[in-house]
C-alpha cells in the first residue's frame, strides 16, 4: 500500500496514523501492551496528569535509508531519559528494552508512513508516560499509561536548515535549578508558551531562556539546546546548567565534533553578553535537528552570527555528519543506529 502524502512539504503537525502502542500499569506491574487503532485515550477526570502534570514524554525519529531500510537513532538514550523523567515525577519507569521494542512495533506497523529517502522528512515518534485514575489530592497516581504514537514530519523551524532568528525571553523562566528542567515533562513546556507566543508573533523562530538565578547565562531554546562555534572553528561550546534538557542531539554533536573533526568541546556557562566569541551558533534537537541561528536579540540589540541568510561552514559540516549518520549514508559510532 502506498499513502498519498506530499512528503516534501510536510511541516511539524499532528497526523493520525493507523497504529499506536499502549500499555497500562496497575497494582505494581506493566501489562503486556498492545498495538491499538484507537487514537483516543479514556481517562478518569481525577487523573493526576490532568491536574498536576504528572507525565513525561520523549521525541525520536525513524529514518528511511537510501536502500529503503528503516532505522532509529539512539532510541536507548530516549528510553533512558524517560526513565529519569519518570523517577523525577515518582512514576513507575517503563522498562527501557520494552520502550525500544514498542517504538519498533509502532514504526513497523505504520511503515507506509516512513517518508522516502531524499525528502528530508522522517517519522516522528512521541512516547509518553502519564499518571491516570481517580485522584484528587496532590499525590502520585495509582495507575499509569505508556503510549507511543507517530506521524511523518518535516522541519520544526520553517525551512529546516536555514538561519533562524531567536529572541531572549528575559521576562520568563522555563525551569528552576532544583526543578524539572532536566526532565522532559509537560510543565516545562506549559511554562514556555507565553515567551514562545511572543517570539513567534514578532517573527522569531522561538525564545531563548537565560539561567533562572542571575539571568546572565544562556540556558536553551524552548524546543532545543544551544551550541556555539568559535570563529576559528576549533571549539564547540554548549551551556552547562542543571535546568536544561540533556539533549541527545547535543551529546551526539559534542561526540562528532570531538571524535571526527578534532574540535575542542566544552559544556560551560555561556554569558548572553559574550556572544562575540562565536562565529556560528545553532539550535539542536530531534525536532529542530540542527537549525543555524541567524541572530539572537537581547535587550533590543540583535547579535548576528555568521550570516542572516547563509549557513556557516562548520555548522554545515556537523549537520552533514549527523544527518548522514541518521539517514544511513555515513558510518555511525557503535550502537547509535538500531534497525527496525
Instruction: Compose the 223-242 pattern: x for residues touching ligand COI by CB under 6 A, - for all others.
Output: x-------------------
Q: Which is nearer to ligand COI, 17 or 275 (CB)?
A: 17
| 77 interacts with ligand COI by CB under 6 A | no
Count CA atoms within 13 Å of residue 150 on its CB side.
Answer: 31
Min CB(290)–ligand PLP separation in Å: 10
> Can you name the residues that pair with 21 across neighbouring β-strands?
35, 148
Residue among 285 and 292 whose Cβ is closer to ligand COI: 285
184 has catalytic annotation? yes
Q: Which residue is nearest to ligand PLP (CB)?
A: 285
Q: Using alpha carbons, list the distances in angstroms from residue 304 to 157, 165, 196.
A: 18, 9, 20
Candidate list 59, 228, 312, 328; residue touching ligand COI; CB under 6 A: 59
What is the closest distance, in whole angstroms, from the C-beta atom of residue 88 to ligand COI in the complex?
16
Instruction: Tell me if 127 contacts ligand COI by CB under 6 A.
Output: no
Q: Least Å distance between CB 159 and ligand PLP?
A: 19
Checking DSSP bridges between strand 337-339 and strand 70-73, what pairing results, if any?
antiparallel
Strand partners, 164: 293
Q: How far is CA 94 from the centre of its chain?
A: 19
The option from ligand PLP, ligand COI, none interacting with 225 (CB < 5 to 8 A, set by class) reads: ligand PLP
Residue 80 burial by CB count (10 A; 0-12/13-18/19+): exposed, middle or buried? middle
Residue 290 gets which letter from DSSP? E
**Residue numbers of the site for ligand PLP (CB under 6 A)?**
59, 220, 223-225, 245, 247-250, 285-286
Q: What does the alpha-carbon distance between residue 156 and residue 133 come to, in Å, rounded to a whole number?
A: 33
**Strands 29-30 and 264-268, how do they pair?**
unpaired
* Residue 286 binds to ligand COI (criterion: CB under 6 A): yes
Q: How far apart are CA 302 and CA 237, in angstroms?
A: 21
Question: Annotated catalytic residue: which of 184, 234, 250, 316?
Answer: 184
Q: Report how far apart the first and last C-alpha atoms of the chain are (Å, whole number).
A: 19
Instruction: Give me the least distance between CB of 59 and ligand PLP, in Å please.
Output: 5
- Which parts of this chain interact with ligand COI (CB under 6 A)? 59, 223, 285-287
Catalytic residues: 184
Amino acid at each position: 500500500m502506498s499513502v498519498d502524502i506530499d512528503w516534501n512539504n510536510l511541516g511539524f503537525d499532528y497526523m493520525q496514523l493507523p497504529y499506536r502502542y499502549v500499555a497500562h500499569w496497575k497494582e505494581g506491574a506493566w501489562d503486556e501492551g498492545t498495538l491499538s487503532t484507537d487514537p483516543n485515550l479514556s481517562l478518569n477526570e481525577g487523573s493526576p496528569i490532568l491536574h498536576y502534570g504528572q507525565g513525561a514524554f520523549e521525541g525520536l525519529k525513524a529514518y528511511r535509508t537510501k536502500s529503503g531500510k528503516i532505522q532509529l537513532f539512539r532510541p536507548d538514550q530516549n528510553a533512558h531519559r524517560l526513565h529519569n523523567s519518570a523517577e523525577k515525577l515518582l512514576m513507575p519507569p517503563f522498562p527501557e528494552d520494552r520502550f525500544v521494542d514498542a517504538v519498533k512495533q509502532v514504526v513497523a506497523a505504520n511503515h507506509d508512513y516512513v517518508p522516502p529517502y531524499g525528502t528530508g522528512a522522517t517519522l516522528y515518534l512521541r512516547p509518553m508516560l502519564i499518571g491516570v485514575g481517580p485522584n484528587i489530592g496532590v499525590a502520585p497516581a495509582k495507575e499509569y499509561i505508556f503510549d507511543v504514537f507517530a506521524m511523518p514530519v518535516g522541519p520544526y523551524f520553517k525551512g529546516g536548515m536555514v538561519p533562524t532568528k531567536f529572541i531572549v525571553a528575559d521576562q520568563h523562566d522555563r525551569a528552576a535549578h532544583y526543578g524539572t528542567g532536566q526532565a522532559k515533562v509537560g510543565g516545562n513546556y506549559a511554562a514556555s508558551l507565553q515567551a514562545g507566543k511572543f517570539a513567534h508573533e514578532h517573527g522569531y523562530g522561538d525564545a531563548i531562556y537565560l539561567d533562572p538565578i542571575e539571568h546572565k547565562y544562556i540556558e536553551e531554546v524552548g524546543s532545543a539546546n544551544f551550541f556555539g562555534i568559535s570563529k576559528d572553528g576549533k571549539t564547540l561550546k554548549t551551556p552547562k546548567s542543571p535546568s536544561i534538557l540533556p539533549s541527545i542531539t547535543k551529546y551526539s554533536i559534542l561526540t562528532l565534533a570531538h571524535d571526527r573533526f578534532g574540535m575542542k568541546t566544552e559544556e560551560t556557562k555561556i554569558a548572553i553578553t559574550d556572544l562575540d566569541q562565536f562565529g556560528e551558533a545553532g539550535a539542536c534537537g530531534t525536532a529542530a535537528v540542527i537549525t543555524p541561528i541567524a541572530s539572537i536579540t537581547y535587550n533590543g540589540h540583535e547579535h548576528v552570527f555568521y550570516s542572516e541568510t547563509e549557513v556557516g561552514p562548520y555548522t554545515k559540516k556537523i549537520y552533514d555528519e549527523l544527518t548522514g549518520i541518521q539517514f544511513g549514508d555515513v558510518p555511525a559510532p557503535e550502537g547509535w543506529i538500531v534497525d527496525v
